[in-house]
Structure 1
Amino acid sequence: MTKLEIEEKPKIFEEDIKPKRRRREVSSDVVLEKQYKRTLLCVSKPSYLLSLGSKSHRIEFLSELPRILSELLSQRNWNDASRVLSVLTQGTMRDCSPKMNRLKYQAQIQIVSHLKPDKRKAEEIGNIYDTWIGKIGKQHKEERLLVWFEQICHFIEHGMNGDAYSAVISLMQNRDFGMLPRSNLFIGITFFKLWRCKFLKELQREDEDCDESVSNMSESRSDNLVENSVRDESVYSVESEGSVRDESESSVMNGKRVSHMSISDSRSGMVMKKVKLESSQHYTNPSQLYATSGESDVSVHDGARTFDATLVKILGDMDPWLLPLKPPEDSDCYVKMVNDSYYKEAVRYLRRTLQSPHYVSLAALHPLIQLLLIGGHVDEAMKVVQEMCKKVHDIKPFRIKALMMERFHPNSNMLAKSYEDILRIDPTCVTTLKKLIDMWKEDGYSRESLIEMIALHVEASFPDPEIWEEFASCFIHFFDNLDEDRMSVCLNGDGEEHNQQQTYSVRYNPTPKMFTNSSWTLRAKWWLNRHFSHEMLESEIKKTENGDLEMMKMMSYKAACASHIYGREFGYVTRVYDHLENNSDYRDLFNFLQEHRQNWNMIYNLD
């Protein structure tokens, strides 16, 4: 290459380089038009917002949607909730977690139930459940089983019993659920519901609504235990009462959807008539959910052997919480009802559920007891309840046991023990405490035990005036024979038998023995601030100035109790005594307090 060619080449290279293009300026009208189109897309298609911004912004936006959706549903703003649900569904198409699915499909069910016409609503919600079940992977068996049962409950609630029966048969045939502890429970509850719907007319009570509580007995917490064990609570839950229908409580509803029904005890008198019933025959609880073709449960005696008119009469008078279903008095109808296939399947699967963990078997206890009682298996029902009381520390089996003891074994010594068990679990239960007070008045219960039970109630609650009055009466009855309880004779010497004269000494114990244990000492100290503090006394006196008679009774009865515990010169006692003495309108209450003050017996000196 010549020197001339080397000098010419760079010039050719420079000529081949293209000039840079100038950036075209966009007019303001075009910018405004694009912004307008984007705004229209955001309004007409909310999911378009998900494509805007960076990835971090989209994740942050999606994380806020569940909270926004829950707030809209709680405010019953169904239209806006529907739009938010549309955005959330588009943004979480690949998120098939149980929590997210529950949020989206529960929200969709609520929106459809409020916005769609009534004619096609139930069927459309059933289709939503089908889609929901299909979205749950096989690895989430518990969630899939639960949603399946929720769909069955939806069918039964809307009178679609045929669809419910088909769904439960499909559930029984699904091998993925064979080893799950709740499978037998859900199948048994489903057949119970179907049986109840089939014979609702024969079982319906004529004189009262069984869906309402008939007592002020405190709410049992075992229902929440069962509900919480079914699924984990999360921020994705959109139902205030929980989406799961309470299995045990659903067993006492007459075809209606009522959750968290308060549990009650009967206030009626005990039935003194004894009924002689045949002992239930032994049965075998299969450990597997599905029987092979060669297995049969025909040997299990699920139906009643004979029609017992006396038993049917007692069952008709039982507490509505325990047995809201009134058996028919017609023998043919009764036999047909207890020999129905739904009845037998319900009893069979609920019996199997008793072999499951406690949080599952406890949910099956109430409906199974109802079925056994209606079928005439009283002895078996009592045995099942007693075994459950030994396994779990929950108030429901103890209440069932007490109600059954009232009707079938009213004179048994175990009845008072059943009431005591209830109070030890739930000391706020005033209805059970009043039953023990009635037993004490009839000389069927010791005053020492009653004092202890009332003390448990005083520890856990702020009792009514009636309870304070009975507490004071227990103290004054207790101290009637106080000298014998506080006096002991001691032998001085080695105690050997010989002619030497023995000497004796009498010791006088200042405090009765039952009040010397540490629990009573702690109670007495704690009650100084809980029930007899200066601030509480001033507040109570202020209320009596407005003519509150109940508060005046409360103060008088509390002061009577305090005079026995802390002495007649205790500050609360003297203040209430002076207040009553200066008010002639409460002469009866003054005499009541004066009587207790004159009975000098100070248990504790805590000055």
Structure 2
Amino acid sequence: MPGFTKSRETKPFAVPDVASLKLRMESGGHWRVPQKKSSAVRRINHRRLSRLLDRLVVNHRWREASAVLSATFAGCHRYYSEDRRNFLIAMELQKRFCRKRNYHNLIKSTYEIWMGKLSWHKKGHAKKHLLQLELALFYLSQGKIKEAYSHTRFLVTEEFGTEPYVNLIHGLILYQLWYADLPEEMQIKGFDVHLSSDALGMPMIDGFQETDIDESSNGHVAVDIENTKASFHCSSESSVGIEKIFMVGKYDALRENSVDAFNAQVHISQCDGEEKVLPKLRDNFINTSIFFASELDKRLLPIHIKLLTEDPIQSILLYRKLANEKYRDAVKHLRLALHSTPPLLAALLPFIQLLLLGDQVHEAIVELDKSCHELDSALPFRLKARLLQCFCSGQISVISSCYESALTKDPACYYSIERLIKMHKTGNYSTTPLLEMLAMHLDSVDGKCSIWEEFASCFLKLQTSMLFHYEDCISTNNGAATTNKYCNRIPTIFTEGETGDTWRLRCRWWVSRHFSRSIYLSEIKAGEWMLLQFKAACAIHLYGPNFEYVTAVLSSLTQRGNASQLSYLHIHIKNPLNLKENLAHV
């Protein structure tokens, strides 16, 4: 009809079937979505929330992330029980927004909720214990040692007692508890057990940068624990070694007095029938006690060594009695972690520290010798070499071979090459193997200024010695030609066996690796003139005085008027090894 709006055509009412009516009655009069369709929708929403949460966290939009995380927890009743990412984000949010509330209690509550959500899972029992271990590790990192101990002491008594990480964390906790009971004047203020980062499931930062030789636990020089590397991120930021325990003169007197005291006791014991016991104790005290290790780094022995009595012998005996049940249990669990299958490298350094703190020097060296065969790492070789330098300094060949093995395992290790250089400067390591070790090191790293300086020095020493041999050969043969190998103008270390091919390849590679034009320009821009000087000296012996890098450095130094550096380079120019050209004719 005109004036009326045409209405929408109505459809006839459809009578539902019996099954649909029954479904509606069971759902309280509302239409219920089928279970399969409900699960699919929940999974889609969960994935969307997960992607949104990732973006918010990456952009540090923590408040928006908090709202999304709440929606995720409220809507996904089964997903987040296995989604550790959500709980880690929740703990990060609590850390940022807890304000005046107790952060540690909030984290503990989060872990309790997390463990409660695992009750329905088939492997929930095992996962709960893993979370307990993780919570103990959190407490350990925060310095809450007793709280951490309360979580791990039950784990080692159950079926998880053979797990390497359980033994590692429990051993570290016992180590810290025992250390806290030491006399206060011996403790390093704010000391935390050193834990390698691979204990947290991350690759180990194998940069064992120890303190210098004279920074020892006997107090000759104060040291700062901040300089230690490859330690757990919760290491102390406070300085240590503020007070000196022994002066150098007093230390020498201590050794002499202790020997005299031993001699006196041996004389007395011969009247008492104990002559078979005290000589053995004398060897243990004088040769293998930390009280006489004047050069042992605090990286290995984190303690202020202090006499407990005026008598040095009684002082050592009293100190050894400090190794109580906590100490023995810590040694036990760290040993289990180290010798597990596969071995746990993270346990090595704290285990050796603990043995040394208990004055078990011989046991520490034996354990390191085993670890050198069992662990595929440079760390046990470096530790073994360092202990041998302190307690068995006469074993020069063994010590140098340990550092060589460490460099073979990890050519980038600056600590090992630095120790070999120090041995070379004291006459305990020859030039030829040092040159090989330096080249191996420079294959892996750009090289510090001191490394290039020593590398150039080795080249010059070899070339000078070869010139002397050459002149001797000529004079012996009255100027006649000779085929004697010592009369060659190139050292045999560059030609024997496979070394010739190695050095030929190295010469070709290093043109772009160390001596390219772009590298030279960047070093000029950075003002690294000493580095340029020593690298140019090495390039003279590798490629000759007319090499592009050498001429560029000489030109720059001439413009700057650096007479001393030019004089240094001219010494090398007068005696160039010119390795690349000579190898081409071999």
TM-score, normalising length: structure 1: 0.66
Q: Where does residue 103 of structure 1 map in the other structure? A: 85
1:130 aligns with 2:130: no
Q: Where does residue 180 of structure 1 map in the other structure? A: 163
1:324 aligns with 2:302: yes
The answer as to whether partners of 1:152 and 1:190 remain within 8 angstroms in 2 is no
Matches within 5 A, 1:429-508: 429-483=413-467, 506=484, 508=487
The answer as to whether partners of 1:567 and 1:601 remain within 8 angstroms in 2 is yes
1:403 aligns with 2:386: yes
Q: Which amino acid aligns with 2:395?
A: S
Q: Where does residue 224 of structure 1 map in the other structure? A: 198
Q: Look up the SS of the partner of 1:358 in the other structure.
A: coil
CA distance in 2, matches of 1:173, 1:211: 26
Alignment partner of 2:532 out of 555, 569, 575: 555
Aligned CA distance change for structure 1 residues 97 and 449 (closer, same or farther; 3 Å)? farther
The answer as to whether partners of 2:73 and 2:80 remain within 8 angstroms in 1 is no
CA distance in 1, matches of 2:483, 2:141: 77
Which one is further off, 558-567 or 140-149? 140-149
CA distance in 1, matches of 2:191, 2:288: 22
1:574 shift after superposition: 3.2
1:203 shift after superposition: 4.5
Looking at both structures, which has the greater relative contact order when contacts are Cα pairs under 8 Å and sequence separation is at least 6? 1
CA distance in 1, matches of 2:229, 2:127: 20
1:377 shift after superposition: 0.8
Q: Where does residue 154 of structure 2 map in the other structure? A: 170
Which runs of 5 or more residues in structure 2 are unaligned? 1-9, 15-34, 205-227, 237-247, 259-282, 310-314, 474-481
| 1:100-137 deviation per Cα after TM superposition (whole angstroms, max 9, x unaligned) | 0x223222322233333555432342233233334444
1:452 shift after superposition: 0.8
Matches within 5 A, 1:189-338: 189-199=172-182, 201-205=184-188, 223-224=197-198, 227-228=201-202, 257-258=234-235, 311-314=289-292, 318-327=296-305, 329-330=307-308, 335=319, 338=322
1:528 aligns with 2:511: yes
The answer as to whether partners of 1:534 and 1:572 remain within 8 angstroms in 2 is yes
How many residue pairs match? The answer is: 471
Matches within 5 A, 1:20-39: none
Aligned CA distance change for structure 1 residues 306 and 383 (closer, same or farther; 3 Å)? closer
CA distance in 1, matches of 2:43, 2:201: 32
The answer as to whether partners of 1:153 and 1:190 remain within 8 angstroms in 2 is no
Alignment partner of 1:574 out of 546, 551, 555: 551
The answer as to whether partners of 1:566 and 1:602 remain within 8 angstroms in 2 is yes
| Bigger Rg over Cα | 1
The answer as to whether partners of 1:312 and 1:328 remain within 8 angstroms in 2 is no
Aligned CA distance change for structure 1 residues 309 and 91 (closer, same or farther; 3 Å)? farther
Q: Which amino acid aligns with 2:296?
A: M
TM-score, normalising length: structure 2: 0.68
Alignment partner of 1:595 out of 568, 571, 583: 571
1:77 shift after superposition: 4.3
Aligned CA distance change for structure 1 residues 339 and 593 (closer, same or farther; 3 Å)? closer
Which runs of 5 or more residues in structure 1 are unaligned? 1-18, 24-50, 214-219, 231-248, 260-269, 278-304, 490-503
The answer as to whether partners of 1:126 and 1:155 remain within 8 angstroms in 2 is no
CA distance in 1, matches of 2:199, 2:170: 20
CA distance in 2, matches of 1:509, 1:461: 32
Q: Look up the SS of the partner of 2:201 in the other structure.
A: helix
1:417 shift after superposition: 2.0
The answer as to whether partners of 1:275 and 1:311 remain within 8 angstroms in 2 is no
1:380 shift after superposition: 0.6
Aligned CA distance change for structure 1 residues 194 and 596 (closer, same or farther; 3 Å)? same
Q: Which amino acid aligns with 2:113?
A: T
Matches within 5 A, 1:4-15: none
1:363 shift after superposition: 1.8
Q: Which amino acid aligns with 1:186?
A: I
CA distance in 1, matches of 2:76, 2:295: 55
1:409 shift after superposition: 2.3
Q: Which amino acid aligns with 1:357?
A: T
| % same residue | 29
Q: Which amino acid aligns with 2:579?
A: I
Aligned CA distance change for structure 1 residues 483 and 453 (closer, same or farther; 3 Å)? same
| 1:520-540 deviation per Cα after TM superposition (whole angstroms, max 9, x unaligned) | 111111111122223434554
RMSD: 4.4
